[in-house]
């Protein structure tokens, strides 16, 4: 049979392979490059806060009934409702804010819910028994409801550095009451218009001060302030990190939602893209791995903790020593098929698409490896991954690693339990132990999320391999 790779066709034998993952690897899907294409509409800047007047005009503000936007309160998680109700019972105003409101409008289940309240953070701390305040520059509260953490911020909190407020209050627009001014001022501090919405679930109103609803309808990513200002806000030593993070976030949001980046924002992204190159290059591979995992998961499509743990350990192993892409491919395929290295190598040699050369963790291929050399390198990689797993659960190594970050909390606590370490080791044990005759690889590309959440070895191995391959060999956009 012939499988389209985007670069030609790969001829495979008619007999079925034990690795049903192969057809998935070569499917042509939308890649991030498409997201950077500018949204070109003649009135794209009209009436938007991101151009001309940074602070917008009060007469352009909108209050929209949530039912008119199709928002269903059924999609608000139970822990979030517990926090909302707890604060409201004490007389404070509460709103959902940011990306969760955007996702509710798009009929998507938000991955998390951010709450903002008129209560000060110390009042939030007094309201909930399991709550801690985190963050120095912009403190927020983490409220623990069961196994879920709900983030709560306060209207009274201001971004500070060295005890000084980083931004001045904008002038209060004419005809604006105090509540609108409070909400509007907070929305101006957010990154993109589609993330600048507030939802009052009790009044059932969505407050739109930045034309965010209109941009959602137009499937457009636009900064709230002028793009060149928003992407380069002076944060002192944080400057290049903030710039790079916002650029990556713009591209990620556009790619995930299928949106386009506005012309002004796209131009600023292109102009400032050099800041991304100044990031620690190891962050780029991790960003890509987690981004590809993120595409497969959602609150109603969860995974077992061992999958996250295994991806972190895999990245750590590659960060310690760069590997040949062929070795990484064989390793991933062997994880998927239960340790059949010969089959994994046979499939990997027929990959006729270029690996992502931007990752310094990948060596430039020296040519066709002898099979024994490849197998030996795969075994070394497997040992490195297992070593990374062990180090991440060892109190000594964790404390040594944390010593490199003196401003981090003074704690030697190990957050990864031993039972999770054992589960993660099983994911990779087949590579060293050889083909597992009892193991049957997953057929097809459909993920059984119930089994994945339970930690099914077959599902976890399947998703691990998909994430690694989509990262090392990115899908090609042939549109």
> Who's near 167: CB < 8 A, 6+ residues apart?
158, 159, 189
Contact 34, 178 (CB under 8 A): no
Catalytic residue among 103, 114, 208, 470: 114
* 114 a catalytic residue: yes
**Among residues 112, 180, 305, 394, which one is catalytic?**
112
Residue 436 contacts residue 339 (beta carbons within 8 Å): yes
Please identify which of the residues 103, 191, 324, 470 carries the catalytic annotation: 191
C-alpha distances (whole Å) from 53 to each of 170, 210, 465 are 11, 11, 48
Give the torsion through C-alpha atoms of 263, 265, 271, 275, to 10 deg.
-150
Indicate the pairing of strand 38-39 with strand 164-165.
unpaired
Beta strands in 114-231 (DSSP E): 114-117, 131-134, 140-145, 148-154, 160-161, 164-165, 197-200, 205-208, 220-221
Structure token pair of residue 33 = 């490059």
262, containing H or E segment: strand 260-262
Which tokens sit at 168? 């001045």
Residue pair 20/441 in contact by the 8 Å Cβ criterion = yes
Active site residues: 112, 114, 191
């Amino acid at each position: 049979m012939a499988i389209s790779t985007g670069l030609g066709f790969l001829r495979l034998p008619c007999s079925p392979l034990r690795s049903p993952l192969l057809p998935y690897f070569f499917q042509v899907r939308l890649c991030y490059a498409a997201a950077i294409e500018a949204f070109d509409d003649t009135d794209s800047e009209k009436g938007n806060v991101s151009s001309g007047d940074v602070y917008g005009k009060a007469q352009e503000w909108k209050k929209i009934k949530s039912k008119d936007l199709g928002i269903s309160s059924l999609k608000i998680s139970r822990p979030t409702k517990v926090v909302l109700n707890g604060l409201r019972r004490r007389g404070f105003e509460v709103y959902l804010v940011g990306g969760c409101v955007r996702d509710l409008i798009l009929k998507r289940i938000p991955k998390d819910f951010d709450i903002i309240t008129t209560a000060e953070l110390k009042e939030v701390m007094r309201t909930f028994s399991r709550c801690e305040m985190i963050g120095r520059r912009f403190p927020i509260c983490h409220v623990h409801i069961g196994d879920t953490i709900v983030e709560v911020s306060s209207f009274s909190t201001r971004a500070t550095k060295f005890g000084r407020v980083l931004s001045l209050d904008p002038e209060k627009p004419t005809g604006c009451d105090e509540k609108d001014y409070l909400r509007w001022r907070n929305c101006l501090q957010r990154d993109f218009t589609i993330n600048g919405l507030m939802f009052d679930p009790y009044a059932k109103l969505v407050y739109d001060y930045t034309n965010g609803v209109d941009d959602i309808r137009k499937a457009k990513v636009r900064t709230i302030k002028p793009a060149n200002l928003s992407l380069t806000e002076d944060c002192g030593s944080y400057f290049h990190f903030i710039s790079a993070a916002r650029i990556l976030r713009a591209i990620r949001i556009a790619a995930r939602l299928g949106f386009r980046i506005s012309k002004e924002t796209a131009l600023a992204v292109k102009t400032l893209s050099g800041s991304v190159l100044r990031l620690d290059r190891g962050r780029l591979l991790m960003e890509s791995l987690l981004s590809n995992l993120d595409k497969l998961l959602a609150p109603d499509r969860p995974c077992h903790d061992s999958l996250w743990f295994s991806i972190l350990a895999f990245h750590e192993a590659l960060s310690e020593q760069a590997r040949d892409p062929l070795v990484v491919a064989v390793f991933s395929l062997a994880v998927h098929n239960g340790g059949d290295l010969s089959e994994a190598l046979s499939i990997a040699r027929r990959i006729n698409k270029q690996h992502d050369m931007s990752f310094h963790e990948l060596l430039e291929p020296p040519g066709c490896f002898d099979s024994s050399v490849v197998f030996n390198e795969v075994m070394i990689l497997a040992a490195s991954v297992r070593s990374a797993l062990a180090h991440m659960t060892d109190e000594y190594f964790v404390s040594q690693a944390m010593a490199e970050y003196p401003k981090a909390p003074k704690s030697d606590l190990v957050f990864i339990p031993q039972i999770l370490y054992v589960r993660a080791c099983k994911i990779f044990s087949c590579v060293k132990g050889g083909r597992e005759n009892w193991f049957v690889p997953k057929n097809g590309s459909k993920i059984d999320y119930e089994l994945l959440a339970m930690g099914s070895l077959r599902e976890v191995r399947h998703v691990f391999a998909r994430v690694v391959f989509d990262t090392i060999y990115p899908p090609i956009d042939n549109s």
